[in-house]
């Protein structure tokens, strides 16, 4: 089987550009939170491309949208290629979208070349990768790691989840029907922008992902006493905002001092009642922390929560902690990493092994089947921003590596 086939660059670019108009923002990015009208429009666009290509369209109970190119062997396992069409609020055009259009282009190219593979090929767009609702709904449902409990107190709030499911014609029970038997999966490959500065700064063409960080998220609520902002003496206040502010600064220092290579982020903060002249009685914040090593992720979250408790006590506040889900760190398979590295070398591209600090659907697939990720440079390392950009030549390189790696994995004896 030839592994040096390349694909139709113009068609890939025109797909990418068409997709970027859906949910486009004035700043040059896209706003397609999971199951929003814009996200559903992007999915309808994808479904139309799949049908136009003469590929079978499959939509599962979790809303995952797939193009299928079947092997002549009906009992062959399936090699998944894909990413996601949802975005963070006010996000960029490349995160997720590039991986989906490239996966579709791989299927079209193989179909047009008339290649018969020993695996079914599937280009999949996963639901809610970005966690604006729950986080990894689609890949978690497919892998069987999504639980009914995850839907009760999700990151984006239960009301938003129920509204999104209704808008998309999905149901809570239906999500769980998307589960697949791992024996039916030959592997999973995902092309993605790096979303950090390393490849761009070092001039390396392709990142071969070695593993993906684990992510734990929490909602913390500091509770004090709302009171008159003008008449209450400074020393007599139980200001919930001070607990939150002190914790945010302390969390940064704690990670810098004790957890090299890890990160923590407070990405949302709400003070209540929220007025100029009332001392905040309650401060709610959204905390996320990430580590590549499972034991370190455990230590990191324990230390952060202990620190939050100490800050609450020092300002005379109460503290409620809600755990909002945890995604385990995931090493990528050696087989997939080798396929990606060889595909890059064959194309004359430089490559480097590197971890991913961003979460990806690949982390849910990794325990089930040989899983790998191809990274390309992000200009200035900017992502989750309308200014997120990758050079088009790098996008083409990444898509060609995805094609080469898919053909290698499809032909490998462990896979077929
Ligand atoms: C997904 O992009 C994440 O890392 O939050
Ligand atoms: Mn992504
Ligand atoms: Mn993202």
Calpha distance 361→365 (Å, rounded): 7
Query: How far does the centroid of ligand 2 lie from the alpha carbon of residue 394, in Å?
Result: 17
DSSP secondary structure, 195-210, as one string? -SSHHHHHT-SEEEEE
**Confidence tier at 325 by pLDDT (50, 70, 90):** confident
Tokens, residue 268: 């949302």
Arithmetic mean of pLDDT over the chain: 96
Residue 250 CB-density burial (10 A; 0-12 exposed, 13-18 middle, 19+ buried): middle
Please give all residues whose CB falls under 5 A of ion ligand 3, grouped by chain where several chains appear: 95
Are the C-beta atoms of 397 and 346 separated by less than 8 Å? no
Q: What is the pLDDT of residues 368-397, one digit of tens each?
A: 999 999 999 999 999 999 999 999 999 999
Percent of the chain residues past pLDDT 90, beyond the cut: 95
Contact 280, 271 (CB under 8 A): yes
Burial 162-189 (b: 16+ CB within 10 A, else e): eebbeebebeeeebbebbbeeeebbbbb
Q: Which of 95, 130, 140, 329 to mutate to test the pocket of ligand 1 (most atoms within 8 A of CB)?
A: 130
H-type alpha helices, 125-239 = 137-143, 158-168, 172-175, 198-202
Cα-to-centroid distance, 311 and ligand 1 (Å): 28
pLDDT for the residue 7: 80
Answer for the pair 319, 282: CB distance below 8 angstroms, yes or no: no
Does the pTM exceed 0.95? no
Identify the pLDDT of residue 4.
Answer: 55
Q: Residue 155 CB: number of other CB atoms within 10 A? A: 22
Expressed in angstroms, the distance from the first to the final Cα of the chain is 13
CA distance 345 to 272: 56
pLDDT at residue 414 greater than cutoff 50: no
């Amino acid at each position: 089987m030839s592994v040096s086939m390349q694909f139709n660059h113009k068609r890939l670019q025109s797909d990418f550009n068409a997709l970027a108009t859906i949910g486009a923002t004035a700043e040059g990015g896209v706003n397609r939170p999971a199951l929003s009208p814009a996200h559903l429009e992007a999915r309808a666009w994808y479904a139309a491309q799949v049908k136009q290509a003469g590929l079978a369209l499959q939509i599962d109970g979790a809303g995952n949208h797939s193009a299928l190119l079947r092997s002549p062997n009906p009992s062959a396992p399936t090699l998944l290629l894909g990413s996601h069409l949802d975005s963070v609020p006010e996000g960029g055009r490349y995160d997720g979208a590039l991986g989906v259009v490239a996966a579709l282009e791989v299927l079209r190219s193989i179909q047009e070349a008339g290649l018969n593979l020993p695996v079914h090929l599937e280009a999949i767009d996963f639901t809610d990768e970005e966690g604006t609702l729950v986080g990894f709904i689609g890949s978690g449902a497919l892998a069987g790691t999504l639980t009914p409990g995850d839907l009760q107190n999700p990151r984006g709030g239960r009301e938003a989840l129920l509204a999104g499911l209704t808008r998309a014609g999905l149901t809570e029970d239906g999500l769980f029907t998307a589960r697949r038997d791992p024996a039916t999966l030959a592997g999973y490959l995902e092309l993605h922008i790096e979303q950090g500065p390393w490849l761009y700064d070092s001039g390396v063409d392709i990142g071969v992902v070695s593993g993906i960080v684990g992510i734990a998220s929490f909602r913390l609520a500091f509770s004090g006493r709302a009171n008159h902002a003008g008449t209450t003496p400074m020393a007599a206040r139980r200001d919930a905002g001070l607990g939150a502010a002190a914790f945010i600064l302390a969390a940064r220092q704690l990670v810098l001092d004790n957890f090299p290579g890890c990160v923590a982020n407070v990405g949302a903060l709400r003070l209540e009642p929220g007025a100029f002249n009332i001392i905040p009685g309650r401060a709610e914040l959204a905390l996320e922390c990430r580590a590549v090593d499972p034991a370190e992720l455990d230590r990191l979250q324990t230390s952060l929560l202990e620190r939050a408790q100490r800050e609450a006590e020092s300002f005379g506040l109460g503290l409620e902690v809600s755990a909002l889900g945890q995604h385990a760190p995931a090493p990528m398979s050696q087989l997939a990493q080798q396929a990606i590295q060889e595909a890059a070398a064959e194309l004359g591209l430089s490559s480097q092994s590197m971890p991913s600090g961003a979460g990806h659907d690949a982390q849910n697939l990794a325990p089930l089947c040989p899983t790998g990720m191809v990274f390309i440079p992000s200009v200035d390392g900017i992502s989750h921003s309308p200014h997120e950009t990758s050079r088009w030549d790098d996008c083409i390189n990444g898509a060609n590596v995805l094609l080469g790696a898919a053909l290698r994995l499809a032909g490998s004896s462990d896979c077929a």
